[in-house]
A and B are shown apart, each in its own frame.
Chain A
């Protein structure tokens, strides 16, 4: 039973990640390879604040978001002026740099050993330590994030993003400041990804840099592309599929030594297959061409 609850907690975390990346990939047409970096920035910022300075959890959460927003502005403002290809590269560069900082700045981040003993959040003096309680907590947080994102996407702002995705030039001709819209979308997506980071840190109570490396970024992209991007149900389907797929594979009785590799191979093959035959994913609206 606890195992199913554990899966559900993971689902709530990845829903936040896939919904936020969907704002970029599906609505704005920006492929960011740095999503795991911002996820990690959120996790590290809030964990360090809670451990070293005993900051309460809502403040730590906000600080994580703030840090991600600040850094995403730093990445977005210059690189989004460039054309698509170059933005992908800048985001890849940022991902590698963040991983290296987390991995190598040992005095702050404890390097490859990671940070153990991250305190669980507590509300009115009650610690949220049991899995069912944590599931309730993470569901509420996740629902809030998705609510905010969906609200934004249904607003005129979201429609402008879609217009940019479909035809930049035409949107520009309508008098929209394209770069400003892209920067805002990027900052929002990265800020929300940081929430998922804090949630992950509180849940596992241990973080290390390998949870936020390039492979993780690729995994999040795969979640969005498999489900399909550009609408609301796509990321939901993708998250369900990609989180539950390893569990289905368990029934195939693949030996543990090769299970991780086999899983990665299936993700890779899925990406190739989708790009070739179904660029809109399982349930998406935006045909990634």
Chain B
């Protein structure tokens, strides 16, 4: 049943794309390799779980509460971790390690509070829809719809609005942005909250679908990072192309070989790209030594 696996690949691609879009947005425009994006994702899933199951709020309210939390979390990380380093002119390695530190602290904090077990939000079987030979559950359809909505909103925002264009400008030339009198600090805060909301949205949907454990964030973050790089770091749409490629490839591997090799295959794909086309699918071809 290859068409079923292609459909599953596209749906998981939708989720990867949401996280990758946020990660790519942050990486491209602020040059922060935001490993802690993974813990923004994990923490959002757990906040959603707490609001929905532990506090018995309704679905919409829990959703909105979680998105507010995600945005705030992103803002706080930028304000208290990344911006001071940026101001000092720290290298990518320093920012990377700080981010790794943030990830470690919060993931372990979550594991301490909620335990290492998998938490499941809904145990009832999801309503399934048949499209010819393909079966998709209701939540999978919601995931696809959310992807279409959010990615077009985000890309539209980046291309068409003033603040979106400022984000692009920051990606191209940060010095010039401050020269024309714009507040780089505010643009960065916007970037981080936007990217974090995208991750929080994906986290809620996946939590409803399959539940979560404290390690989910790292898995999806690594996939998102791979997607951004193979799609092309310098183009926002690259993250989407990369995410669907990874989603399809993983599901092909699940179909043909076994689910346990999906992560290894993702990273083989990354290394193949680093060796043969380091600028990514949509990236402009040029010698990497110049970059």
Contacts and interface: CB of A to CB of B under 8 A. Distances in A.
Given A96-B222, A96-B264, A279-B90, 4 more contacts: A218-B100, A267-B101, A289-B91, A289-B94
B225 interface: yes
B103 interface: yes
Contact of B90 (A82, A83, A265, A289): A289
Contacts of A188: none
A81 B91 CA distance: 19
A78 B266 CA distance: 18
B108 A261 contact: yes
B239 interface: no
Contact of B271 (A31, A93, A288): A93
Contacts of A264: 104-105, 107-108
B105 A97 contact: no
A100 to B, nearest CB: 4
Nearest to A30: B93
Contact of A83 (B94, B95, B291): B291
B288 interface: yes
B96 A276 contact: no
Q: Which of B102, B266, B274, B288 has the most CB of A within 10 A?
A: B274
A245 interface: no
B97 A267 contact: no
Nearest to B110: A261
A89 B226 CA distance: 9
Interface string A253-267: 000001001101101
Nearest to B102: A272
B91 A82 contact: no
B96 A86 contact: no
The 5 closest A-B pairs by CB, nearest first: A268-B104, A271-B101, A100-B264, A268-B105, A272-B101
A27 interface: no
Interface of B: 33, 81, 84-85, 89-98, 100-109, 111-112, 218, 222, 225-226, 229, 258, 260-261, 263-264, 266-268, 270-271, 274-275, 278, 288-289, 291
Contacts of B258: 104
A278 to B, nearest CB: 11
Nearest to B262: A100
A275 interface: yes
B267 A275 contact: no
Contact of A88 (B96, B104, B289): B96
Contacts of B226: 93
A100 B94 CA distance: 28
Given A97-B267, A264-B108, A271-B104, A83 B289 contact: yes
A225 interface: yes
A97 to B, nearest CB: 5
A265 B94 CA distance: 18
B93 A270 contact: no
Interface of chain B: mostly helix, strand, loop or mixed:
helix
Contacts of A276: 84-85, 98
Given A89-B225, A89-B270, A268-B103, A82 B278 contact: yes
Given A31-B93, A279-B94, A94 B271 contact: yes
A288 B267 contact: no
Contacts of A97: 264, 267-268, 271
A144 interface: no
Contacts of B278: 82, 86
A265 B229 contact: no
Contacts of B260: 100, 103-104
Given A82-B288, A258-B112, A265 B104 contact: yes
Contacts of B91: 288-289
A84 interface: yes
Interface in A66-92: 78-79, 81-86, 88-90, 92
Nearest to B268: A97
Contacts of A261: 108-109, 111-112
B104 A267 contact: yes
A88 B101 contact: no
Contacts of A79: 271, 274-275
19 contacts: A86-B274, A89-B274, A90-B271, A93-B271, A100-B264, A214-B218, A218-B100, A218-B104, A261-B109, A262-B108, A265-B105, A265-B112, A269-B101, A271-B100, A271-B101, A276-B84, A279-B90, A289-B90, A289-B91
Contacts of A268: 100-106, 108
A59 interface: no
Given A84-B92, A88-B93, A275 B270 contact: no
A221 B98 CA distance: 12
B255 to A, nearest CB: 17
B98 A275 contact: yes
Contact of B112 (A94, A218, A262): A262
A276 to B, nearest CB: 7
A137 to B, nearest CB: 33
B103 to A, nearest CB: 7
A258 B101 CA distance: 18
A180 interface: no
Contact of B94 (A89, A221, A270, A275): A275
Given A79-B274, A83-B291, A89-B274, A270 B101 contact: yes
B105 A269 contact: yes
